[in-house]
Structure 1
């Protein structure tokens, strides 16, 4: 059971009649094999055609292992004979992109001895993969110029199946091992000849334009994205409009957009530097205020501070600033959907913050977090709800110091669905600003 592929003889034919040879099922959709078809099946880097068979939309076209063309449909057609109609806009787009790819690949080969090792055509992008990874902008411009020169020359494009003797005389590049049986050849004037089973225009002028869009290095190769014909026009139109919009926003000419953006970037860097300095001063003042708030407390030196939605980076800066004070311990938290906890202490405080944090989080069933004896933190406490820190701390007198080996502390956080046993609270001072002193 085989299918005559009408597009081999005429890629411009869009309507045909055919006999249904077989009715099959492809997943949830009906499928048919015809005695002949204009529909191109996915293959060789080119996607399938779309259109209708009878009243049913064609959803996909594939080649069976036996070589027949399988049409996957939206609905099951009736009757033995059926009329088919192609989506011509899609077919023409594929023809422009595929013939354009042949020209572009040959231009890379002629100018840089770069071979095409991959080709991909989709609804939105067209790419070729080259076996080299070093192309300058001047190199790409030269390739693009040569390719468009071939387009403007309106050279003829011929596709045919040569016999074995004729095939042996053609200057073909390596034929893919996937190709079996008769080999179809596509010849572009005197510029290129290669084996290909895809659909192509009959003259290069129909491509209109070949435009390289961007390149990307990938494992010793270069992926070149490009556009041909209507795609190239739409790409230019979209980018031109956006460039003009940017120019209007920046109140400059489109040719000066780059310089205008560079100036804005420099201004932004200066403002960010000033902002960082100002934030540093504010945080320094805030750290001093927190420190002064606990100076007269029952447990001087222990700063406990919790605020909803506080930036974790600022908490760490505050903790570092506070822990520069002799005898200081900073226990800071940010409540909310992504809670954060920062513990820090001065060098002269005989307490391991990392161990204390680990012990605290264990009570909550949380394992993330860590740090050093002087500073530890944990983030992503997604169940954290408006936490409160409760502290049990020894006095600073020598007797208390000996009994508690410096400072013993435990932290409990009110968690969603978790209410630990209450601790005895020695002291806590709540300020309207959110500062707690203990």
Structure 2
């Protein structure tokens, strides 16, 4: 005996009583409960399963197996007859999303002549896949308008249980994948009709609102991400709060946010350019001071210096600047702003290589920093997680170069 699916005729039934047909333990420690009838929807067709209770026992998942509906529970019912109750908030949310998929698909067929090749009802949003290569913002806006017009018109959903011979009487958007003796069809009159075992609202008005959030190219088609009903309201509320917050921060009305953003972006670009110029000038002056103060041995200057509260780029910039001076070697270290990481850049003026090998010097320094890195005789760099080891590391590198 196959489980009677009460939701087929009425998706609004929330409670029911049923006879326990079988109850089997599972390897997970849960139980697989089969009833003679149920309102619990099993995971299928891109729609997640219902949850709820059998008496006081939680229903964790619902699956279909060979025509039977299997309720997964953490314990076994003690009575032969149980009372079931679904999580209505979850069910109605799924009804809104699945019904919205039918309407959105109908709008896509009408506007861009696209067929729906896949549907997934997610926890936050849902997706449909379309068999087209491109779509424009204008087409998306038109699809939304057509879909929501159907919502506002409050068109009834019709459920048909038909035989295989009766299928030709209906304008199916796609034919069944295999032969069935009977099929359940869901129809939005003159708009969409297809075989479907899911749960739906009575009329399109209960969908509330359909909003396409985004789209992306997926394999050989287009994937639309959308929300309906309460999800659309939650999405709008979140985005409205974000817009209000940004508008307040920029001291402009919401309608002027884009222009204010462009203005701020231009300001940021100008400030960034000024900052880069100032940093370059500061680096040049620091390099000049370090070069002037550095002792000279046999006509060669080996300069060691540590920068605090800097990013790796600043370390490299100073090392390269110093290496432009003739017969100069720069052994520069930097400590990150959070004082947890160090970066080394060793650079030599080309006239000193390969006699002075920066990669060899770096390999001598890195163990003191618990670091890694490498490079060429002229330029080598690396990093570590032990800033306290910088003095010993620079000393080791200098000894390798001088032999002292």
1:167 deviation in Å?
Answer: 1.3
1:180 deviation in Å?
Answer: 5.4
Contact 1:18 1:81 in 2 (8 A): yes
Structure 2 unmatched runs, 5+: none
Q: 1:390 aligns with which of 373, 379, 395?
A: 395
Contact 1:24 1:31 in 2 (8 A): yes
Task: Kindly indicate whether residue 47 of structure 2 is the aligned counterpart of residue 46 of structure 1.
Answer: yes
For 1:101 and 1:325, how far apart are their aligned partners in 2? Answer: 69
Q: Following superposition of structure 1 onto structure 2, how do residues 55-94 of structure 1 map, counting pairs within 5 Å?
A: 55-64=56-65, 66-94=66-94
Q: 2:401 aligns with which of 383, 394, 409?
A: 409
Q: Say which is worse superposed, 302-311 or 286-295, in terms of deviation.
A: 302-311
Contact 1:294 1:300 in 2 (8 A): no
Q: Aligned with 2:276: secondary structure?
A: helix
Write out per-residue CA displacement over residues 210-239 of structure 1, whole angstroms, 9 at most, x where no aligned residue. 111111222342211111122212222221
For 1:29 and 1:20, how far apart are their aligned partners in 2? Answer: 16
1:151 deviation in Å?
Answer: 1.5
For 2:323 and 2:45, how far apart are their aligned partners in 1? Answer: 66
Write out per-residue CA displacement over residues 16-44 of structure 1, whole angstroms, 9 at most, x where no aligned residue. 00111111234132231111000001110
Q: Following superposition of structure 1 onto structure 2, how do residues 74-223 of structure 1 map, counting pairs within 5 Å?
A: 74-175=74-175, 177=177, 182-223=182-223
Q: 2:344 aligns with which of 341, 344, 362?
A: 341
For 1:333 and 1:123, how far apart are their aligned partners in 2? Answer: 49
Q: Aligned with 2:344: secondary structure?
A: strand
For 2:75 and 2:147, how far apart are their aligned partners in 1? Answer: 43
For 1:277 and 1:2, how far apart are their aligned partners in 2? Answer: 77
For 1:331 and 1:122, how far apart are their aligned partners in 2? Answer: 55
Q: Cα distance 1:87–1:393, how it changes in 2: closer, same or farther (>3 A)?
A: closer
Write out per-residue CA displacement over residues 324-360 of structure 1, whole angstroms, 9 at most, x where no aligned residue. 0000001112355333221111121133545425653
Q: Aligned with 1:376: secondary structure?
A: strand
Structure 1 unmatched runs, 5+: 395-407, 411-423, 426-438
For 2:346 and 2:322, how far apart are their aligned partners in 1? Answer: 11
Give the TM-score of the pair, scaled to structure 1: 0.84
For 1:392 and 1:320, how far apart are their aligned partners in 2? Answer: 17
Contact 2:369 2:385 in 1 (8 A): no
For 1:367 and 1:322, how far apart are their aligned partners in 2? Answer: 24
Q: Cα distance 1:79–1:377, how it changes in 2: closer, same or farther (>3 A)?
A: same
For 2:103 and 2:81, how far apart are their aligned partners in 1? Answer: 40
1:384 deviation in Å?
Answer: 5.5
For 1:347 and 1:113, how far apart are their aligned partners in 2? Answer: 66
For 2:164 and 2:258, how far apart are their aligned partners in 1? Answer: 57
Q: Cα distance 1:138–1:392, how it changes in 2: closer, same or farther (>3 A)?
A: closer
How much is the aligned-residue C-alpha RMSD, in angstroms? 2.5
Write out per-residue CA displacement over residues 356-409 of structure 1, whole angstroms, 9 at most, x where no aligned residue. 256537867989533333211113x23564322225879xxxxxxxxxxxxx61
For 2:163 and 2:362, how far apart are their aligned partners in 1? Answer: 78
1:262 deviation in Å?
Answer: 1.0
Aligned residue number for residue 17 of structure 2: 17
Aligned residue number for residue 415 of structure 1: none
Q: Cα distance 1:197–1:298, how it changes in 2: closer, same or farther (>3 A)?
A: same
Contact 1:306 1:334 in 2 (8 A): yes
Write out per-residue CA displacement over residues 72-115 of structure 1, whole angstroms, 9 at most, x where no aligned residue. 12333221100001111211111111111011111111211111
Structure having the larger proportion of residues in helix: 2
Q: Cα distance 1:57–1:179, how it changes in 2: closer, same or farther (>3 A)?
A: farther
Q: Say which is worse superposed, 141-150 or 168-177, in terms of deviation.
A: 168-177
Q: Aligned with 2:401: secondary structure?
A: coil
Q: Cα distance 1:230–1:359, how it changes in 2: closer, same or farther (>3 A)?
A: closer
Q: Aligned with 1:249: secondary structure?
A: helix
1:299 deviation in Å?
Answer: 7.8
Aligned residue number for residue 226 of structure 2: 226
For 1:174 and 1:269, how far apart are their aligned partners in 2? Answer: 53
1:163 deviation in Å?
Answer: 1.0
1:179 deviation in Å?
Answer: 7.8
For 1:277 and 1:55, how far apart are their aligned partners in 2? Answer: 70
For 1:86 and 1:309, how far apart are their aligned partners in 2? Answer: 58
Give the TM-score of the pair, scaled to structure 2: 0.91
Write out per-residue CA displacement over residues 257-279 of structure 1, whole angstroms, 9 at most, x where no aligned residue. 11111111110111111111111
